[in-house]
Amino acid sequence: MLDINQLRYTYQPQHQHEHPMPLSFNFSLQQGDIAALIGPSGAGKSSLLALIAGFLQPDSGDISIHQQSIITQDPAQRPLSMLFQEHNLFPHLTVYENIALGVDPRLKLSAQQQQHVRDAAVNVGLEAYLTRLPEQLSGGQRQRVALARCLIRQRPLLLLDEPFSALDPALRNDMLKLVQQLAQQQAITVLMITHSPDDAKKIANKCIFVDNGEVKAFGNIDTLLNQPQQLDLRHYLGLTTI
Ligand SMILES: Nc1ncnc2c1ncn2[C@@H]1O[C@H](COP(=O)(O)OP(=O)(O)OP(=O)(O)O)[C@@H](O)[C@H]1O
């Protein structure tokens, strides 16, 4: 479903004492996969999502979704949605309007589309909050609104850049379950950055371990996290002694 084919990008040094940071990715996901993207800080996880979303232009390689290359498409045209840790919502728009933006950026919705927005709010448990502004919501509720907007766009790929890491453990659990349930319902493929192997195990079936700008391990999540073979992955998981 998602094919990342010999994708390369190099951050050029900004100062004399710095070195270039080359990134190189190669892997594929099947439709309906939920893949956890793990790896140390600075490994290249956010950069990989930025390349897929089209915020960074690769030096070489290709990205395709359902066998169609998306590499020349603008970020808004790409068949994907993305959820960040914060700043997902427009503060001056209501919950209803923030979700409706996923249907039409001009907010001109038909009666049927208006119903879709209300249905999306029901799906994330926010039907009673449609007229509130983001500042009148908790952090978890705000992320639910943002998730509803992603899902109403009905794009086949959902990219998550640690959207729930600021939430407390119980709420984070609820959100992970919600993503899993809604992704299954809509057969959406999910690629999720997380710093928590426990969170990864809760919803993902695949795992991608990125280290030093490369995919160092890829496969079934239970195999990778319960019986890690690579030394650098074992080190990342805190299973080696120094
Ligand atoms: N705009 C930039 N210019 C130069 N180097 C950058 C830039 N953005 C990121 N980098 C470097 O690229 C590498 C990968 O960064 P990236 O943010 O993708 O890592 P990450 O795995 O998402 O880290 P974290 O888990 O801390 O968010 C890092 O070494 C970082 O310093």
What's the CATH number where 175 sits? Answer: 3.40.50.300
Would you say residue 21 lies in a domain? Answer: no
2-37 exposure pattern, b = at least 16 Cβ within 10 A, e = fewer: bbbeebebeeeeeeeeeeeeebbbebebeeebbbbb
For residue 171, the CA-to-ligand 1 centroid distance in Å is 28
Domain containing 187 equals: 27-56+73-236
* 242 pLDDT higher than 80: no
Report residue 238 as tokens. 């805190």
Would you say residue 45 lies in a domain? Answer: yes
Query: How far, CA to CA in Å, does 130 sit from each of 88, 115, 119, 141, 156?
Result: 16, 12, 11, 11, 26
pLDDT band at 178 (very low <50, low <70, confident <90, very high): confident
Give the residue, out of 10, 14, 16, 21, with the most ligand 1 atoms within 8 A of its beta carbon, to mutate for a pocket test: 21
User: Ligand 1 pocket by C-beta < 6 Å: which residues?
Assistant: 11, 14, 21, 39, 41-47
Would you say residue 85 lies in a domain? Answer: yes
Would you say residue 241 lies in a domain? Answer: no
Would you say residue 80 lies in a domain? Answer: yes
Whether the CB-CB separation of 44 and 213 falls below 8 Å is answered with yes
For residue 45, the CA-to-ligand 1 centroid distance in Å is 8
Average confidence (pLDDT) over 60-68: 96
Which residue shows structure tokens 């800080």? 41
CA distance 164 to 199: 10
Whether the CB-CB separation of 179 and 148 falls below 8 Å is answered with no
Cα dihedral 150, 58, 19, 216 sign: positive
The pLDDT tens digits of the residues spanning 199-216 come to 899 999 999 999 999 999
CA distance 64 to 66: 6
The pLDDT tens digits of the residues spanning 145-175 come to 998 998 898 899 999 998 888 788 888 888 8
ipTM surpasses cut 0.90: yes
Would you say residue 99 lies in a domain? Answer: yes
Average confidence (pLDDT) over 36-47: 94
Query: How far, CA to CA in Å, does 81 sit from each of 25, 54, 160?
Result: 20, 11, 9
Report which protein residue has its CA nearest ligand 1's atom 6: 11
What is the reported pLDDT for 241?
A: 66
Which atom in ligand 1 lies closest to the alpha carbon of residue 12? Answer: 4
Would you say residue 43 lies in a domain? Answer: yes
Count other Cβ atoms within 10 Å, centred on residue 175: 21
For residue 222, the CA-to-ligand 1 centroid distance in Å is 27
The pLDDT tens digits of the residues spanning 119-148 come to 999 988 899 999 999 999 988 899 889 989
Selection from 9, 12, 41, 38 nearest residue 24 by Cα: 9
- When divided into structural domains, the chain yields a total of 1
